[in-house]
Amino acid sequence: MSTFDAISEPLAQRLADGLSRLGAVARQIDWQAAEAEGLTPTQADILRFVASRPAGVRLAAAAGHAGVRSATASDAVTALQRKALVRKQSDASDGRAILLKATRDGQALAARWPASYAPVVAGLDADDQEAMLHLVMEMIRHLHRRNLIAPQRSCVTCKYFRENVAPGSGEPHRCAFVDAPMADRHLRVDCPEHVAAA
């Protein structure tokens, strides 16, 4: 037992603090980008979510993605609609629901909107980014199990993901959908072909 094991705050707490600091930076960058494009961070998050799903999404799904209540998401979508970036369609299969879809302008804006964590991620080289992606995916998987995060279309929760089927190789995982080997660096947070594991 070294000196520091005795005198330090718990590892988990220091890690949580560090992530909080990075989050503060990302939020600040988000607000600066907001000014340039006329969107707020929540609006931008929802716009990108909607733009990534051309088939349309429910309001509640957008709220879950952004981590806000339906009422807040409704406000944000109203603002996006006013700016002609998103449109609402009634859902034929459910008269209560609406389908949100990005307009052409919305697609364009979503595509050029910078990821708020980009300058944060830029601090790591490719190997470290790969290692971090692996750890982040592990966190997402855990949160998913605990129902603390909205369903993600991530590899680690996908029916087609085969984890570590070729241990020791450079690409130990496999995606059974495209039937190809994968490394940690290939893991996706949001894959269009995702099918939830049973």
Partner DNA sequence: GGATTTTATTTAGGAGTCCTACTCATGAGC
Partner DNA sequence: GCTCATGAGTAGGACTCCTAAATAAAATCC
What part of residues 171-190 is at the interface with a second copy (CB under 8 A)? 171, 175, 178, 180-183, 185-190
Residues 102-161 within binding reach of a second copy (CB under 8 A): 115-124, 126, 128-133, 135-143, 146, 148-149, 152
Minimum separation from the CB atom of position 101 to DNA (A): 12
Token pair for 36? 């340039």
- The residue (of 96 and 104) whose beta carbon lies closer to DNA is 96
Per-residue x/- track, 67-86, a second copy (CB under 8 A): xx------------------
- Among candidate residues 21, 188, 20, 28, the one with its CA nearest the CA of residue 116: 28
Cα 106–chain centre separation: 18
Determine if 19 is a binding residue for a second copy (CB under 8 A): yes
Determine if 97 is a binding residue for DNA (CB under 7 A): yes
Within 13 A of 183's CA, how many CA atoms are on the CB side?
A: 11
Q: What is the identity of the amino acid at 100?
A: L
Minimum separation from the CB atom of position 87 to a second copy (A): 24
Beta strands per DSSP E along the chain: 86-91, 94-102, 161-162, 173-175, 180-182
